[in-house]
Amino acid sequence: MNSLNNTFFNIFLLISFLNLLCKTQPPPNYPNKYRIKAFWRMPAANITQPILINYNSKNFYERFDYYSLDISTTIATDLLRNDSNQLYRVRIMNDTVTCSIINSSGTLELLPFLPDLYNEDWEEGQPTVIRGFPVRMWQKNTTIQNVVSIFTFYSDDQGLPVRFAVNGYDSLLKTHFDIYIMEYFLYQPNVNDEFADQINHTCEYSLQQDDRFPIPLEVISSSLQKIGLSNLDLDINNLKEKESLFSRGKILQENLKFIDEHNKNNPNFKLAPNQFIHMSKEEINRLILGNPKKHLIEDDSKTKQFESVEVIPGKPETFNWTDFDVVTPAEDQGMCASGWAFATTGVIEGAYKIATSTFIDFSEQTIIACSSTLSDSCLGGYPQDALAWIQENGIDESTTFPYIGIESYCLTPQTPSLIKIKELLSLPDTTFSKLSDFIYSVGPIATMMDASNLDFIFYKSGIYNTSQCKTNLNDLNHAVLLVGYGVENDTEFWIIKNSWGNFWGENGFARIVADQNLCGISTAPYGALLNFDNTFDHQKKEQKTKTN
Summarised one tens digit per residue, pLDDT across range 339-371 is 999 999 999 999 999 988 899 999 998 898 887
Helix (H, G, I), strand (E, B) or coil at 253: helix
Residue 134 lies in a domain: yes
Q: Which of 149, 182, 210 is the last residue of a domain?
A: 210
CA 37 and chain centroid, separation: 21
DSSP-assigned states of every residue in 61-110? EEEEEEE-TTS-SEEEEEEEETTTTEEEEEEEETTEEEEEEEE-SS----
| 284/142 same-domain check | no
Distance in angstroms (rounded) separating the CA atoms of residues 166 and 141: 10
DSSP-assigned states of every residue in 297-329? ----TTEEEP----PPSS--SSEEGGGGT-SPP
| 59/137 same-domain check | yes
Residue 537 lies in a domain: yes
User: What are the DSSP E strand ranges found in 443-532?
Assistant: 445-449, 459-464, 478-488, 491-497, 509-513, 526-530
| 173/266 same-domain check | no
Contact 49, 40 (CB under 8 A): yes
The domain tally of the chain equals: 2
Is the per-residue pLDDT at 48 higher than 70? yes
Is the per-residue pLDDT at 137 higher than 90? yes
Is the per-residue pLDDT at 448 higher than 90? yes
Residue 2 lies in a domain: no
| 206/329 same-domain check | no
What pLDDT does residue 492 have? Answer: 96
| 276/200 same-domain check | no
Residue 255 lies in a domain: no
Summarize pLDDT for 454-483 with one digit per residue, the tens.
999 999 999 999 999 999 888 899 999 999
| 269/185 same-domain check | no
| 181/278 same-domain check | no
**More reliable by pLDDT, 410 or 435:** 435
The pTM of this model reads 0.70
The rounded percent of the chain whose pLDDT value lies above 70 is 70
| 40/179 same-domain check | yes
Q: Which of 210, 231, 254 is the last residue of a domain?
A: 210
Task: Tell me the CATH number at 302.
Answer: 3.90.70.10
Residue 250 lies in a domain: no
| 292/421 same-domain check | yes
What pLDDT does residue 95 have? Answer: 58
> In whole numbers, what is the pLDDT of the chain averaged over residues?
77
Residue 240 lies in a domain: no
Residue 468 lies in a domain: yes
Task: Tell me the CATH number at 171.
Answer: 2.50.20.10
| 290/365 same-domain check | yes
User: What are the DSSP E strand ranges found in 127-215?
Assistant: 128-130, 133-144, 147-155, 161-169, 177-189, 205-208
Residue 453 lies in a domain: yes
What pLDDT does residue 112 have? Answer: 84
| 468/372 same-domain check | yes
Q: Which of 174, 191, 210 is the last residue of a domain?
A: 210
What is the domain range of residue 454?
262-547
| 276/423 same-domain check | yes
